[in-house]
Amino acid sequence: MSEPGFTVAPARYAGRYNGKPMIAVRCEPDGSGIKTRAMRLCAALNGRWSGREKAYIMSPAKAAKLHELFAAGRDGWLGADSKGRLGFTKIV
């Protein structure tokens, strides 16, 4: 399955989590050298970077959360909102 900015597929070299294969999320660079929104979300969800896969490795539940946050327009920059709570920032 593909979204703008990233591709999700079963990881080839990672182990299994609760009997399910780990997920590799391959983020497309934009050429600027700065992390894209998908890359920041993967890092904020504690995805593990794999140089061998050239992808972020995460559990199926985290990959589903990534789809949800990306579709909702969230960004991975963790910062405080107006009430001082930390969380994913909304892109306006």
8 A C-beta contact, residue 64 and residue 20: no
Q: How far is CA 83 from CA 42, 80, 86, 87, in A?
A: 25, 7, 9, 11
**Distance between CA atoms of residues 53 and 26, nearest Å:** 8
**Residue with more model confidence, 23 or 90:** 23
**Range scoring the smallest mean pLDDT among 2-6, 12-16, 20-24, 62-66:** 2-6
pLDDT band at 1 (very low <50, low <70, confident <90, very high): very low
**pLDDT single digits (tens) 20-71:** 889 999 999 888 988 888 998 898 888 999 999 999 999 999 999 999 888 8
**Distance between CA atoms of residues 63 and 51, nearest Å:** 18
Give residue 60's domain range. 2-90
pTM: 0.78
Residue-level pLDDT at 83: 56
User: String of b and e for 34-49 (b: at least 16 CB within 10 Å)?
Assistant: ebbbbbbbbbbbebee
